[in-house]
Amino acid sequence: ALDKEGATVLLGMRKPDNFNCSEHDLSDNARPIALDMGTKESIEQSLPQLLEEELDMVVNNAGQLTGGLLEEQPLDDIYSMFQVNLVGLVHLTRALVPGMVQRGQGKIINNASVSGVMHLPCASTYAAAKTAVVAFTNSLNLELTGTGVSTLTLITPGIKTRMYDEISTLYGEHMDLSQLSSIPPEEYATKVIKAIKKDKLFYEPSGSVGFALWLARHTPGIFRKVGTMSFKR
């Protein structure tokens, strides 16, 4: 979506050599670069190339999913998810903020989740990471006051991606997922572009998901009852 808006887009991915931009309807202004959020060392390896660029915008979009009863979640999966969803995000942002501040402009877009607000059973570790992303972005935004650099926190609903398809596998044994819904990535990307153009600090869905977010924030007792109705150990 950013490419279609005319931006020069660096697509961070683990295997850039296997990615063909033309096959994904991307212009010559888009190019893949090596970026693996999986370890501290792999991020450090990518930073010299990234720091050569005068980046106006950073979209922290990498994500992994964990789910199920806490005691049944593989420990390695938990560590990996926190690294990619939270620690790597903080690491990369920390490295790129100084250049933006020096130039006096920029926007950092962090993909959180409705799980960062709505804390449901079977989402203990994933919700913890996404809640931390919300808190980190809010605090960072205050630190950046007066610098010309701002943030955008995305409270992202269900998006029909490969990760979304993992929900039924990880959560389905203990949660009734019949009310679960999603939207296409292209539809959500359009909404994000609008939020960027309006220089919003926060974006979240409306409708039934928006109402659920309101319940979680303002009537936690009711939200707890609703959330546990569909859960079974």
Active site residues per annotation:
126
Burial of 104 (0-12, 13-18, 19+ CB in 10 A): exposed
In this structure, what token pair is assigned to residue 232? 């079974």
- Beta bridge partners, 33, equal 12
